[in-house]
Chains A and B, each alone.
Chain A
Amino acid sequence: MNGRSYLFIPGNSAGMMVSSFVLDADVLIYDLEDAVSLDQKDSARHLVNEAVRFLPKRSQCWVRVNPLDSPYFMKDVDALIDSPIDAFLLPKCDDVRFKDMYAYIEAAAKRKNVHIKPCVALIESATGVFTLPKLIKLNVSGLFLGAEDLSADMHMTRTKGSDEIMLARQQVVLHARVKGIVCIDTPFVDVEDMDGLQYDAIKAKQFGFDGKACIHPKQVSQINQLFGYSDEQLQWAQGVLDMAKKHADVAVFNYQGSMVDRPILLRAQHMVDLARKWGLIHE
């Protein structure tokens, strides 16, 4: 489930579908919701459904379905429950809505005799943030912050400095860590402002987010770089693991002047595993 970049792809655009698999995002989110007009919901559903069963799979693929109270949610789930996608991204979540959506998805999976898909909750409303403690008691696989809709719901003014969403960011990260699931930061919506993206992404990483949403392919490489590991960090991690092999008989050893115990060892292993997955290191 761990990705650095999460790129939204409009679900009714055949051209974007076709090039989506070469863009280097860790997770592609095929969007049936906000990127698709009401009169094309059926069209997008078919296009995404056919695309995920056809295109080469080089990244994780998620689908953002329509909200529970729309006429489209159930059809979206029915169409995609038995497809190769890796997760559903459920919009406008709070604990009650997530519960109901998850129940329907579980039933759909049973009907088609397939495994249920992981479900990631999009937190984009006041109740969404407020009910996080209850939400993480459910079967949620990730928390995704959607600040544009959230700020509308909260009567906030959305700014590039993002002071107004600080609480929401912290709550999302906190609850994700308690549950032990991924947390993904809201997209930076000014696609021309690469400096603004840099500032915002660094902030998100500082807050503890695992990755960040992208709304345009040109944002992907910067996000991958910021949420990935630097060469120095990877060298450190590999060094720790090599040293651990030499000191297999002890629980704690010294590396580069610092104590390395089991938690640090696990962290180093985790870094190397992810780096391998992201193509940052070779065998």
Chain B
Amino acid sequence: MIVSKPAVAGTLESNDCYVTVLPNHSSGIQLVIRSIVMQKYGHLIEKTIREVLEEYQIEHVSLTLEDKGALDFTIKARVKTALERSV
């Protein structure tokens, strides 16, 4: 899948996250993650994002995720939604 236009998904409410996806033609996978539980679960948030990117076979994307304590299932859902909107 190729990310060809900007897209967003999710919200900044508690238990949710806000994902912004931008096309980035050849710089690989650029992730920026900000989370209220970064110290505890930042590694799991990043893992979840990368798993989705792999599932969608994305090689180049600039993805920003602003997290307000979303569980992994929410992170997955919001990232998938943003990616599908960016096609």
Residues of A within 8 A of B (CB): 13-15, 17-18, 42-43, 46-47, 49-51, 53-55
Contact = CB atoms under 8 A, between A and B. Distances in A.
Nearest to B75: A50
Contacts of B81: 42-43, 46-47
B14 A15 contact: yes
Interface of B: 9-11, 13-17, 70-74, 76-78, 80-81, 84-85
Contact of A54 (B14, B17, B72, B85): B72
Nearest to A48: B77
Q: Give the most central of A13, A14, A15, A18: most B CB within 10 Å.
A: A14
Nearest to B80: A46
B80 A14 contact: no
B70 A14 contact: yes
Contact of B73 (A13, A42, A43, A51): A51
Contacts of A43: 9-10, 77-78, 81
Contacts of A55: 73
Nearest to B14: A15
B74 A42 contact: no
Q: Give the most central of B71, B72, B73: most A CB within 10 Å.
A: B73
A54 B78 contact: no
A142 to B, nearest CB: 27
Given A42-B84, A42-B85, A43-B10, A18 B78 contact: no
A50 B76 contact: yes
Contacts of A47: 73-74, 77-78, 81
B72 A18 contact: no
A82 B76 CA distance: 18
